[in-house]
Structure 1
Amino acid sequence: MPPFSSSTPNLTSRFRSSNKPKKRNSTKAYCLVQPILDLLSQGHLSHALSSLELLVRKGIRLPSRTLAQLLRHCGNSRSLREGKWVHLHLKVTGLKHPSTFLANHLINMYFKCGDDVEARKISKQRDRRKSISTEKKTLCDLKGSCGQDFPGSDYRPSDRKNWMAGLNPEKVHINKIVWPGTHDSATNKIGFPCITRPFAQCQSLSIYQQLVRGARVLDIRIQEDRRVCHGILLTYSVDVVISDVKKFLSETQSEIIILEIRTEFGHEDPPDFDKYLEERLGEFLIHQDDHVFGKTIAELLPKRVICIWKPRKSPQPKAGGPLWGSGHLKDNWIDTDLPSTKFDSNLKHLSEQAAVSSRKFFYRVENTVTPQADNPVLCVKPVTNRIHGYARLFITQCFSKGCADRLQILSTDFIDEDFVDACVGLTYARVEGKA
């Protein structure tokens, strides 16, 4: 910011001497803005900008139209340094992501001043924000016009911890279940709190708490030392996951869990991990068998865990063994932060699958969107919230598009009760022959 000087006709004295009426906001705005406009009209751009530091100290941001005029003058006079001062004023007064109106003026200013790189950067961010806003509105409008009613949508399990037991294990076939799952399940303590955790945390609950809430499909990523990870960020050992699973199993009698464990991209497989899983979960493991899909929960008991191990380089689990291979749980991952794009893509890929009654593998739809490196918003929660509340709408659209009979696993970030209830409700409708 330009330094204040008693010999410089800055606006400090004007602000101090202004009589600001307490009742009329328009007059107050005039006292802030008019001296700046007067200096601009006199060709004193630097002097007009000298007040910005004082305004920042007082927590005052100039009105958008005044900022636009400042940027226009900076561009017309090719004053890049002064233009950056105005841009900095926006950032430090809480407007890191300016409106389209101000973004356009920033882009024009940078182009006129010869900084094409910054102009294109702001242009890209502006267009991305417009796309996100448009797509959020698209889903909101779709929800308003189509509603969220589907067979079983009004069903609420009396006990989410034991919701499978509540549906009668003798009637519930594995291929009729709509499995509520969690994406990146073991990230509740990933990285460092308030530093790296917001960029990788997809769940706030422990594995045990997720299972109690109603989740029945877990997505675990590990590295070579058996620690859970998300990219380069680490958390607790997979032992914690297994212990939570076993604790839940010890407290319930008829709940089936799909436990997917895979080696994270960029990491090596932990040595002898298949043997480790068999040792820790052996008594609960449901052996790999295509007939499992047509069986009821009661027919599988007391075995209760379908464990899918997806190594990167190690041999896949053998057919008929206690572990299931990567081909038994499939999905079509779409890496985007655009909610409507992900929503439509999920519907498209689901519609291409066979009906669950004829499939010999599990197919997962992930009701999530992912932060992108080139977007200003990189924290998981505000990004995934763009689609988080539309699980019921997705099920409704599955019926509308004629692919509801293909829905099997639906996963989410930050799982909540309503998400679980939606999945359990559709399961109930299938079991009762209503869907």
Structure 2
Amino acid sequence: MGSQVSKQLERRKAIKAEKKILSDLKSSSEEEYPGSEYRPKDRTNWMSELNPEKVRINQIVWPGTHDSATNKIGIPLVTRPFAQCQSLSIYQQLLCGTRVLDIRVQEDRRICHGILLTYSVDVVIANVKKFLSETQSEIVILEIRTEFGHEDPPDFDNYLEEQLGEFLIHQDDSVFGKTIAELLPKRIICVWKPRKSPQPKPGSPFWSAGFLKDDWINTDLPSTKFDGNLKHLSLQPPVSSRKFFYRVENTATPVADNPILCVKPVTGRIHGYARLFIAQCFAEGFADRLQVFSTDFINDDFVDACVGLTHARVEGKT
């Protein structure tokens, strides 16, 4: 018992120290970077606002959400705080500017986060289609994966093609160098990551797992995550020569020996440092590698931070 209490005290000290490291860095550093002052007039149509004929896919800094479909997961006030990573619906996220969705499914096509379940993936599809019907030039990366510990939904690729076929941008390396206008009226890059079923093949309506990569750092320590994200990003090729999407997640997550197990207070330790992260990428010389930037509980400022850098790239200011 005594050793457990001592361990928890050490954990609290480590968390406090790491929070101070990021706070001090923010106090001593600039959060300005090319495009940081830019604010889209309409976040729902920010890609259209930047001019689809000018914006190439590999220039975009894609604002994404982590565990996107968890707004209603679990039981409110009981299990939900341990698994909820977003408070907005998929449709609301898209309206506020989110363009990469992280969707976890299990064998009966329900959304899940670990062992907790929520609504059917049908709800996600309906939300995405509603958004697409109300916009003209917004491209969405829809990542759907079978959650760890679960089985693939049967015949899921056929289901997705039936639901989304008219919108799907087929797997093709040349897409990265194309403008949004060249891809329209197709609107969705759907990355399907089954656990056991065959991966999508070249030319397929779906993109295989290797086209959306990340280096997940499972930690509740904010400075550890921040520095780890910088290190992994620095090892990537520039977006101009990359034939895959690379994701950085501005998140901190509860771990087993954490004295706090609810998602929101833990991820809140890093949540406000997105602009600082982008500025540090410039300071260290590898901002040209930033591409997909994801977060828990996405908000307007996070979207603006990504859109601003995209605008700067399109205008040749980076």
TM-score range, shorter chain: over 0.9
Match of 1:424 among 304, 307, 317: 307
Aligned position for 1:231: 114
Match of 2:89 among 198, 206, 230: 206
Which structure 2 residues correspond to residues 110-149 of structure 1 after superposition, within 5 A? 118-149=1-32
Q: What does the per-residue CA deviation read over 1:182-239, in whole Å, with 9 as the maximum and x for residues that have no partner?
A: 0000000000000000000000000000000000000000000000000000000000
Aligned position for 1:49: none
CA contact (8 A) 2:12 2:259 kept: no
Aligned position for 2:46: 163
- 1:405 positional shift: 0.2
Aligned position for 1:339: 222
- Tell me which amino acid in the other structure corresponds to 1:262: R
Secondary structure of 1:402's partner? coil
Aligned position for 2:100: 217
CA contact (8 A) 2:137 2:187 kept: yes
The structure with the largest alpha-carbon Rg is 1
- 1:147 positional shift: 2.0
Aligned position for 1:304: 187
Name which structure has the greater RCO, CA cutoff 8 Å, separation 6+.
2
Match of 1:378 among 240, 258, 261: 261
Which structure 2 residues correspond to residues 201-350 of structure 1 after superposition, within 5 A? 201-350=84-233
- Tell me which amino acid in the other structure corresponds to 1:156: R
Structure 2: runs of 5 or more not aligned = none
- 1:318 positional shift: 1.4
* Misfit runs of 4+, over 2 Å: none
Secondary structure of 2:190's partner? strand
Secondary structure of 1:363's partner? strand
Aligned position for 1:388: 271
TM-score by length of 1: 0.73
Which structure 2 residues correspond to residues 179-198 of structure 1 after superposition, within 5 A? 179-198=62-81
User: In proportion to residue count, which structure has more strand?
Assistant: 2
- 1:159 positional shift: 0.1
- 1:155 positional shift: 0.2
Secondary structure of 2:206's partner? coil
Instruction: Report the aligned-residue RMSD.
Output: 0.4
- Tell me which amino acid in the other structure corresponds to 1:365: V
- Tell me which amino acid in the other structure corresponds to 1:240: V
Secondary structure of 1:307's partner? strand
- 1:122 positional shift: 1.0
Aligned position for 2:289: 406
Structure 1: runs of 5 or more not aligned = 1-117
Match of 2:56 among 173, 182, 186: 173
TM-score by length of 2: 1.00
User: In proportion to residue count, which structure has more helix?
Assistant: 1
